[in-house]
Amino acid sequence: MISIDANIADPDAVLSDEGETVEVNPQPVKKWAAIAGRWRFAGTSAHYDGPDKVGSEAPGLARASIRFRDGILQTRVKLSRTERTAGGLFFGFQSMDSPYVTVQLGAFGRAYVISEHRPEIGWFQTAAAGLLSNLNAQDEYDLRVSVTGQSVRLTVGDVEVLSTVVSSPIEGTGCGLYAWGEESITFTETTVESADPKVFVIMPFSEPFGPLYRDVILPVAKKLGFEVIRVDEVVGPGLIISDIQRQIEASHAVVAEVSTPKPNVFYEWGYADALRKPAVLLVRGQEGQAMPFDIRGSRAIFYDDTIGGKKTVERKLRQHLKAVLGE
């Protein structure tokens, strides 16, 4: 299993589960689809010539042929002017009418911006930094976007300028180039580097729950391509509560065993729920039995410790996690 780690020195390397540094070659994007706006493509390069209609405020989107969920997007951007012109990357895309995230130079009158498109409310900034006047037209800027669950980081020219947690889980797998304005924008050396999505497991660490984690949750999630995180397996210095929050933010879903009223279990589930994180609840017992009031309206998988019960919880857990992946 390979996972991206933000703390290693080499930005083009990742760490394995054993802590070994492993080189990963980014995939260059060579095939594009002009979703909106006027574009010209030549291999890994793309040139934006403006919106569909003169005076339009609609963005230009060029979708890459490579699907993307977690990992790193990179491109080199050259703006022909810095006023009323923005260029960058988008991801989490399904359609023009669905939510997606953009990372841009020159948007909203700021140098660096992470923003979200929500059909019900339009565009809004999630994070911004830098004066627009600090950007220089005709200069080339290397944008590197790291996405892990709902955590997004923007690096420009090897300097991290923004880090944020977007408001809702990123659902779509479409990514590509974003442009806005009537002036031309040039993009070169666009690459995609994918990483395994994460699932965070919330449960008591004591028996009898060990076999559920080792024999059911861990193998089912790993077989579907998830990296599985449980807080007692996180190593290194730092506050436990901060580690929990960061790991939940970086996950695509949580699996929570809620049979016993443990305060830490309900805190972690509540934090995930506040981020609208997809949650799979597991309850030891018979279906229909009463659950704690706070989660009584939530869907849950009931299980028992029999051989037949193990097969049932495996099947249902697999179905729920496949749904998270959009399969």
Q: Which domains does the chain have, with CATH numbers?
A: 2-194 (2.60.120.560), 198-324 (3.40.50.450)
Q: Which band of pLDDT confidence, cut at 50, 70 and 90, is reported for residue 234?
A: low
Name which residue leads in pLDDT, 270 or 293: 270
| pLDDT the model gives residue 239 | 61
- Model confidence at 236, in pLDDT bands (50, 70, 90)? low
Query: What is the distance between the alpha carbons of residues 77 and 166, in angstroms, rounded to a whole number?
Result: 23
Please give the pLDDT value at position 325: 85
H/E element, 194 = strand 185-195
Which amino acid would we find at residue 58?
Answer: A
Report d(CA 108, CA 86) in Å as an integer: 9
Inter-axis angle of helices 240-249 and 263-274, to 10 degrees?
40
For residue range 168-182, list pLDDT tens digits in order.
899 899 999 999 999
- Would you call 64 helix, strand, or coil by DSSP? strand
Residue 21 corresponds to which tokens in the numbers above? 């540094």
**Can you tell me the distance from the alpha carbon of 250 to that of 221, in angstroms, rounded to the nearest whole number?**
16
Helix (H/G/I), strand (E/B), else coil: 178: strand
Mean pLDDT of 301-316: 82
pLDDT tens digits along 142-159: 999 999 999 999 999 999
- Contacts of 233-239 with CB under 8 Å at 24 or more apart are none
Residue among 123, 90, 114 nearest 163 (CA): 114
- The DSSP 8-state label assigned to residue 237 in this structure reads S
**Confidence band, pLDDT 50/70/90 cuts, at residue 102:** very high
Q: Please, how many CA atoms are within 13 Å of residue 231, restricted to the half-sphere of its CB?
A: 22
Cα–Cα distance between 279 and 45 in angstroms, integer? 40
CA distances from residue 120 to 96, 99, 275, 278 in whole angstroms, order as listed: 12, 9, 18, 21
Q: Would you say residue 22 has pLDDT above 80?
A: no
Torsion of CA 7, 93, 116, 171, to 10 degrees: -70
Min mean pLDDT across 47-61, 79-93, 212-226, 296-310 is at 296-310
Which of 17-26, 193-202, 204-213, 314-323 has the weakest average pLDDT? 17-26
Eight-class DSSP state of 271: H
CA dihedral of residues 316, 317, 319, 324 (deg, nearest 10) = 150
pLDDT at 4 exceeding the cut of 90:
no
- Residue 13: pLDDT above 70? no
pLDDT in tens, 56-94: 888 999 999 999 999 999 999 999 988 899 999 999 999
Establish whether the linkage from the previous residue to 208 is cis, with ω within 30° of 0: yes
What φ, ψ does residue 249 adopt, rounded to 5°?
-60, -35
Please tell me whether residue 299 adopts helix, strand or coil conformation. Answer: coil
Q: What is the phi/psi pair of residue 42, to 5°?
A: -150, 95
Whether pLDDT at 255 is above 70: yes
Q: Do 38 and 48 meet the contact criterion of CB atoms below 8 Å apart?
A: yes
- Higher-pLDDT residue of 132 and 325 is 132
Other Cβ atoms within 10 Å of 31 Cβ, number: 11
Candidate from 100-104, 214-218, 253-257, 307-311 with smallest mean pLDDT: 307-311
Residue 289: predicted pLDDT: 61
113: nearest Cα among 68, 43, 64, 59: 59
How crowded is residue 37: how many other Cβ atoms within 10 Å of its Cβ? Answer: 23
Token output for 235: 């190593």
* The pLDDT of residue 1: 33
Beta-carbon count within 10 A of 131 CB = 9
Checking if the pLDDT of 160 tops 70, the result is yes
